[in-house]
Structure 1
Amino acid sequence: MKVLVVNDDGYTTEGLKILADAFKKRGDQVYIVAPHTHQSGKSSAITVDHSLVVHRHADNIWSIEGTPADCVNYALNVLELNVDLVVAGINNGFNIGIDTIYSGTVGAAMEALLNDKKAIAFSGEYNNNDIARQEIDDVVDFIFQHDLISNEYVLNVNFYKREVKKSKGIIITDLGIRKKVKINKTAQDLNDERKTDVWAVKNGYISITPLKLGNGDRLLVDELTRKVESN
């Protein structure tokens, strides 16, 4: 299998290396196309006002002076890498709840989906690669064993918090909700509703949340149409 690895923290980060090595160990052909510098919080932004500067570091490693979504676009549409899977991460910080809206890691995976590629985003607690390094192989095996990947949605994987000494397992979750966000590396007042990604990482589980493109709501469209037509 051919795998594209991207992130939003930059091409030299430990999280990206852990992720790339996990797929290399499986015998996959791995390509790395990642931002030249830190690009967190870029969501699905693309560069439109100037040309991208590209650096080639090895046969299968490039860095782009652009956003995570730029990296995916460049890899698939300029380099024309015919990959089977795009994986993003491992992000330095959780991407749970509404974090996913802002995340360059998730944005890169969504860009892959727009290009009809299967994609997985991986994230873990800030400044804590130990859990990801310990658990990544089991998570990847779990995903393939249960045939979870699809080109109709992104899988958003988050590892559990460091105070949990041992994983309680891997579960499929919905998005949680952040009630209050600090403008820095941390956030407070996360909801604890069971089976959300927020609940999972706080309680020792690795969460896998399916995310789809777009925010349209067919039922809401029908409801508003009825309101318009009735007046």
Structure 2
Amino acid sequence: MVIGNQQVRTQQIHEMKKKEKEYIKLQERLNQVLMEKKKESRSGMEIMNLLQKEGRQRGTWNGKKADNDFYKKIVDAYEAKNQELMAENADLRALLRSMQVDMRDFFNAPNGLPKQSLPVSERHESDPSQSPLGGRTDVFDLPFHMARDQIEESLRTKMASIKERMVQLQDAHKGAEVTSEATERELELEAQLVEARSIIQEQASIMSKHLAKAERPRESIISSPAEGV
């Protein structure tokens, strides 16, 4: 039973460290998204500057076709970059949603171990988070500027809970090790006691046999004079 509890606590500590690393990665990714947003804004300004520059040089182009080709290249490049950012944001939102459900299940589990993970699509249906506006819209589907504070606060709270739980589990693990050592010592002493009792019983049996043999000659000596009389 003690060994089983130790294994459970060891697995709990492993799961907590794993979740902590994943949350750190998420925080780093959020910072990257913010940097991408800033770069996107700068890219928009660069496009506007380029349009103004090329507009001043329009007199040197060969007609309307050149204008269309130029604008098409700019729009295509912008749309490609925008699609790339949207895909990255969608992946990040899905990961955040998945982590939110994992952490909720982990903290709600009676033995501290998470339940079997569900697919991301099922999690989205079974876990409609409250939005900052008070509705049932998934907070991770809101624009980042609306959900940022709530997401960051949730991450900080869960990180603090993870660290607190890890300290508790480590303390419990140390206590279990002490208990295990005491239990092993008790079992060792009990085995020694059983062995000592066996030796005592064996010695008592041997002494009883020797006493019985010693009593027989004495009885024969006492009975012989009586017969002579």
Name the TM-score, length of structure 1 as normaliser: 0.18
Q: Hey, which of these two has a bigger chunk of strand by percent?
A: 1
Structure with greater proportional helix content? 2
- The structure whose RCO (Cα within 8 Å, separation 6+) is larger is 2
Between structure 1 and structure 2, the one with the greater Rg is 2
